Amino acid sequence: MDYRKLVELIPIGKWGALSDKLVDFILTSKNDEKMSSQLANTILHHWQQSVLKSETGLAALLEAALLLEPEKTINAFGELQMENVAEQIKAELES
């Protein structure tokens, strides 16, 4: 899945709220073993640089959230009135 392309579908005004939601999913997930250390380190690096709400930060969070909590993540797009992105993700996951 091209997470950068998915982020491009998200209005910039919603990046902050989405980033917060995805971080919550990741931190409270019980599926820790699904997180790769490389992805974890990327997220920590972006967090340290305060760029988790940027395009690259959001792409890393999206990848992690979809690995750890796919259902919650897809539902979050619905809650944030981004059904088109939710549908796009579902299609990508099914293919």
Number of residues near another protein (by CB under 8 A): 15
**Could you tell me the CA-to-CA distances from 20 to 24, 54, 57, 92, 95 in Å, in that order?**
6, 12, 11, 23, 28
- 45 is an interface residue for another protein by CB under 8 A: yes
Nearest one of 69, 68, 52 to 16, comparing CA atoms: 52
Q: Do 29 and 83 meet the contact criterion of CB atoms below 8 Å apart? A: no
The binder of another protein chosen from 18, 23, 74, 89 (CB under 8 A): 23
In the complex with another protein, the residue whose CB is nearer, 37 or 95, is 37
Structure-token match 């059904």, residue found = 83
Q: Is 38 in the site for another protein (CB under 8 A)?
A: no
**Is residue 48 near another protein by the rule CB under 8 A?**
yes
Minimum distance from CB of 44 to another protein (Å)?
A: 5
Whose Cβ is closer to another protein: residue 49's or residue 84's?
49
